[in-house]
Amino acid sequence: MTQQENTKKYISPDELVYIGKHRNTEVDVHLMDFGPDHFEEFSINNISEARGYLEKKSLTWITFNGLHDVDLVEQLKNNRINSHILSDILDTSLRPTFQEYENAFFISLKMFDYDKEKKTISTDHFSLVIHKNAILSFTEKPTTIFDPLIEIIKKGKKRIVENSMDYLVFRILDIVVDHYILLLRELGDDIDAFEEILLTEQNMEILDQIITYKKLVNRIRRNIKPALETITMLTKYDVEYINDSSSVYFNELLNDLKQSNEIADGYREILSDQLNIYHTTISSKLNSVMMTLTIFSVIFIPLTFIAGIYGTNFENIPELRFKYSYYFMWVFMIIITLFMLNYFRKKKWIKW
């Protein structure tokens, strides 16, 4: 059984099973410990190496760059992390959530990555376990998304290193949430650019493209709403390690998420309109094609009929014998044609 197939069978809520893409790489666990006047960082192979830092009063941030090593995560059980949390960390299909446990807060969000070439979005299951003096963050694969923040920490930027846990949590979440907007802008540019093509060409590929974009936008939308719920709970709950004075920062996060939501809704509507336009354009084109056919047919049908009449082999057709009959026929046909062209002009089917 592959790990992806785990999403198809029942898993106990406290069972530690990795549910996600199969990966072979070794999982790197990285520890950073810092304060106003120190910064220390190293990789660890065993959670026990972190023990000291977790208790210490200075801020500690441990990043797990992969979830597929279940044994590594299981070691956290000894560190008094609830097995329900650990189970949720390992389940990449989990909906964004916030949970308050005895000794920790658990936040889970999705991170997205848009591949402009292939028009696909890849998801990363991001979890955060917040203790009094330590944060544990988990991603499915190594990510560089937090590098700007780590850079600031390394530079010993006052605000983050002096403040308590809550400002650091805000800064981590801000990066995740801001990337929703950045992603939506990139995706939006592609959708906007695509609109140009829409009005000049129609084919099944275009229809397919609209549908693909719709699905991408909807996938993001479906993750923003629970993220909004999650952050709202974080601000509403009287979370112990989060100062009231920092609620202003979490409001910033909420505003970002609402903006993401609105941008996504906007593109959703644009795509829905594009589908409509595509449909209408085809009808429009069909109409123009049919007009051409009709004008042509309606003009020639009676003319061909007349020619047919005089092509009959009746022995007694008086008209055939008059000297100028043939010319009269032409004149008559021209009159009919003009009459009909005039009719179409009046009906505005043709412009003169």
| Footprint on this chain of Mg ion (rule: CB under 5 A) | 11, 13, 88, 174, 178, 214, 218, 256, 268-269, 272-273, 279
- Residue 45 beta carbon to its own copies: minimum distance, rounded to whole angstroms: 30
Please identify, using beta-carbon distances, which residue of 29 and 210 lies nearer to Mg ion: 210
Is the separation of the CB atoms in 57 and 133 below 8 Å? yes
- Residue 206 beta carbon to its own copies: minimum distance, rounded to whole angstroms: 10
Tokens standing for 29? Answer: 């666990």
Tokens standing for 185? Answer: 């802008």
Q: Is residue 197 a contact residue for its own copies (CB under 8 A)?
A: no
Q: Is residue 44 a contact residue for its own copies (CB under 8 A)?
A: no
CA-based nearest residue to 67, from 113, 11, 123: 123
- Residue 47 beta carbon to its own copies: minimum distance, rounded to whole angstroms: 22
d(CA 218, CA 320): 74
Q: Is residue 248 a contact residue for its own copies (CB under 8 A)?
A: yes
- The three-class DSSP label of residue 31 is strand
Please identify, using beta-carbon distances, which residue of 122 and 288 lies nearer to its own copies: 288
- Residue 19 beta carbon to its own copies: minimum distance, rounded to whole angstroms: 11
Is the separation of the CB atoms in 230 and 236 below 8 Å? no
d(CA 109, CA 126): 5
CA-based nearest residue to 112, from 168, 186, 167, 169: 186
- 310-319 — which CB contacts under 8 Å span 24+ positions? none
- Near its own copies in 149-168, by CB under 8 A: 152, 159
Q: Is residue 307 a contact residue for its own copies (CB under 8 A)?
A: yes
- Residue 183 beta carbon to its own copies: minimum distance, rounded to whole angstroms: 10
- Near its own copies in 95-114, by CB under 8 A: 95, 97, 99-101
Q: Is residue 334 a contact residue for its own copies (CB under 8 A)?
A: no
Q: Is residue 294 a contact residue for its own copies (CB under 8 A)?
A: yes
- Residue 88 beta carbon to its own copies: minimum distance, rounded to whole angstroms: 8
**Binding segment (CB under 8 A) for its own copies, from list 25-33, 57-65, 133-141, 253-261:** 253-261
Q: Is residue 115 a contact residue for its own copies (CB under 8 A)?
A: no
Q: Which does 346 bind (CB under 5 to 8 A by kind): Mg ion, its own copies, none?
A: none
d(CA 50, CA 232): 31
d(CA 295, CA 98): 67
CA-based nearest residue to 33, from 10, 52, 13: 52
Q: Is residue 352 a contact residue for its own copies (CB under 8 A)?
A: no
d(CA 279, CA 274): 8
